[in-house]
Chain A
Amino acid sequence: GAGVSQTPSNKVTEKGKYVELRCDPISGHTALYWYRQSLGQGPEFLIYFQGTGAADDSGLPNDRFFAVRPEGSVSTLKIQRTERGDSAVYLCASSLTGTFQETQYFGPGTRLLVL
């Protein structure tokens, strides 16, 4: 079946602009995660959804970052007033029910470049 998909695959924006990144999880997966990966580093957790609700948003770096999952499927990560330091690959992952032993399946990521 289809894996996790993310759009756009690449996004170039100017400092101060607003961006939205979209994630389509694997069908039937209730848990959805956003991570951010900078060059030479491992992915860093941003936020975790269980169904429609954000169960853990402790990784969001500041209030410029916000994410929603209104119908418990597709999620959108929103970044306001982008800064050059926001440049990274934004990865989305999903898992079936969200238990801690479950495999998280990652999408191909959105490469964000803030000029």
Chain B
Amino acid sequence: RKEVEQDPGPFNVPEGATVAFNCTYSNSASQSFFWYRQDCRKEPKLLMSVYSSGNEDGRFTAQLNRASQYISLLIRDSKLSDSATYLCVVVPHTGRRALTFGSGTRLQVQP
């Protein structure tokens, strides 16, 4: 079983739609959680950190459920510019610094 699992998609949605991505992780000792965004043939860039209390940044909302080892990302009012691959990222435990990435979920927002 992979440490971080995501639905690869693609998710094809119209502009203005709300879309949600889910991710599960296997290591219950994981300490830090992030969503990164990666455009085609570009490097990953941090979208947002994910906290147990949930957090929001404009149209983006991230949630963490430690009991179920589940992370989600909600994008409201999708824009064409949101088209990208969204990578779920976990830091397994405080002794490690390396990021563990899921394979990514591809989003295509259609006009």
A103 near B98: Cβ-Cβ < 8 Å:
no
Contact pick for A100, options B4, B31, B42, CB 8 Å: B31
- Cβ of B46 under 8 Å from chain A: yes
* A-B contacts, CB under 8 A, total: 55
The SS class assigned to the B binding surface is loop
Q: Please tell me the number of chain A residues within 8 Å of chain B, measured between CB atoms.
A: 26
Whether A42 touches B46, Cβ cut-off 8 Å, given contacts A48-B97, A56-B96, is no
Contact pick for A33, options B49, B98, B103, CB 8 Å: B98
Please measure, in the bound complex, the distance between the C-alpha atom of A98 and the C-alpha atom of B87, giving whole angstroms.
21
B101 near A44: Cβ-Cβ < 8 Å:
yes
Using a CB–CB cutoff of 8 Å, the interface residues on chain B facing chain A are 4, 8, 31-32, 42-46, 49, 87, 89, 91, 94, 96-104
12 contacts between A and B (CB under 8 A): A33-B98, A42-B4, A42-B89, A42-B101, A44-B101, A48-B98, A56-B98, A100-B32, A100-B91, A100-B96, A104-B99, A105-B46
